Amino acid sequence: MKLTLKQSDNLADWYLIERAEHNHTAWFVPIEGGMAFQHSGRISDADVEGTAAEMLAIADAIMARKENCDAYRCAVDASVEPVRFWSPRNSQEVGKCSLMEADELAAEIRRVLAKAVPS
């Protein structure tokens, strides 16, 4: 599945890793204690999201094939294939993609955010 970086519509320094192609649908699923919002763009059962610096750390981890890189709402394990993505705060299930797809995402993150975070 091709992944992409999407900037938040509401926050200046907030980004989401999403499926590049999806039908933009949303729905609720029952969970213990209530309902959980789902969206067709999610690569996990929760948003994999964070700041520009966190997204650049995700890109670096992918390129280094790092075992675990995580922040509050975004994480990746790029040490094996499939590469796994999740939200440490909210995910119950991981999202998966190939190393090639993860490399393409890392390149996109670096290209889009290269000027967003000072070195």
Q: What is the pLDDT of residue 29?
A: 82
Q: What is the pLDDT of residue 117?
A: 67
Number of structural domains found in the chain = 1
Q: What is the pTM of this model?
A: 0.88
Q: How confident is the model at residue 4 (pLDDT cuts 50, 70, 90)?
A: very high
Cis peptide before 88 (omega within 30 of 0): no
Domain of 29 in residue numbering reads as 3-113
Q: Which of the two residues, 26 and 48, has the higher pLDDT score?
A: 48
The per-residue pLDDT for range 34-88, each reduced to its tens digit, is 887 888 788 998 899 999 999 999 999 999 999 888 899 999 999 999 999 999 9
Q: What is the pLDDT of residue 118?
A: 62
Q: Is residue 119 part of a domain?
A: no
Long-range contacts formed by 12-15: CB under 8 A, 24+ apart: 13/51, 13/52, 13/116, 14/49, 14/50, 14/51, 15/49, 15/50, 15/51, 15/52, 15/55, 15/113
Category of 44 on φ-ψ map: left (φ > 0), alpha (ψ -120 to 50) or beta: beta
